[in-house]
Every structure is written in structure tokens, then in C-alpha cells.
Amino acid sequence: MRDWARATAVLAVCVIAAGCGVGAADGGEGALAPVETVRVLDDGVVKVRITSDDNMRFSTDRFTVPAGQPVRLRLDHVGRMSLHRMGHNVVIVEPGADPVRMGAEILGSGGSLDNHYVTDAVRDRVIAYTPMIGGGDSVTVEFTAPGPGEYPFFCSFPGHFGVMTGVMVVTE
């Protein structure tokens, strides 16, 4: 019964969060400025830049990288709120994974700032993730792009995983 109650509470937070803020794509006040999301460097590294803000948004909900290439993903939190109030990360997971279910699982398995809201219970389904950061901070993670497919990504901070989502498309 307690698991059901916890899942219901997480779902309620996600529904409430989904109704808040202005979508990045709608151009409303506070919309994130467009950034160049993907660029291939001279050394063959695929450089991906995503920004996030205090309105629980990513600057993109989709980016494409080639399979087997080294990827350097940078997350810039362009907001002002602290890590404890509005922390963000990027968690890239295996194809078919559901960010809301995975977020609830993270919360139910001891997710916290100490483990960047990526617990041992989900690590076997995580391709890569950035540490959690607050407003004004940036972080980079490097990984090798897996095989072709569509890999969901999300912010695993409580309540954010229902609205801060996207897809990393990996091509041949």
C-alpha cells in the first residue's frame, strides 16, 4: 500500500508540474534562447549542449548523434535558483524506458542530491547522466553513443521528470 501511495504522490507532483511554466517551444516570456545543440568537433567528438532554467525546461527535446561516436554533453543551468530548490541533470536511458516511471523508481529507492537522483536501482538502464547542478552552474559528461535507436532523456529531480524530457536519437 505504501508503494501505491508513493507512486500516487509522485504522479500528482508530475501532473501539477506539467501545468506550470511556459513551454520552451512556445516563445512565451522566459522562453529559453535557442542554442546550437549538436556540433562535431575536429577530433570527431560530438559536442551536445543543453540548457535548463528555473521553469523546469530544457532548451531542446531532441538531438541526434551517430552510433559509436564519443559524445561530450554539457548541461548549462541558466536559471538562478539553488541546487536544492531547482536542481537539474540530464539522465539518458535505454530505449523504451519511461521517464515518469523511472523517476518514481528513483524516488522510491533512495534518490537524493547525494546520488544525483540516480540510484543503484536504475543504473543498469542508464546510458549516461550528468551530476545535479543549480542555477548558474554547468557540468559535462562524456560517453560513447550506443547503437542506433531512440534513447529517452530526462531530469531526475523530484517532479521534473514528468515535464523535462526528450529523446537522444542515435543513427548509423
**Which pLDDT belongs to residue 37?**
83
pLDDT digits (tens, 9 = 90+) for 148-171: 999 999 999 999 999 999 999 999
For residues 137 and 10, the model is more confident at 137
Q: What is the pTM of this model?
A: 0.82
End-to-end CA distance of the chain: 45
CATH code for position 83:
2.60.40.420
**Which pLDDT belongs to residue 8?**
40
pLDDT digits (tens, 9 = 90+) for 112-140: 999 999 999 999 999 999 999 999 999 99
**Which pLDDT belongs to residue 34?**
58
For residues 98 and 38, the model is more confident at 98
Q: What are phi and psi of 139, to 5 degrees?
A: -150, 150
Domain of 102?
A: 2-171
Residue 78 predicted with pLDDT over 90: yes
State the total domains in the chain.
1
DSSP one-letter string for 92-159: EE-TT--HHHHHHHHHHTT--GGGTT--TTTGGGEEEEPPPB-TT-EEEEEEE--SSEEEEEE--STT
**Which pLDDT belongs to residue 76?**
97
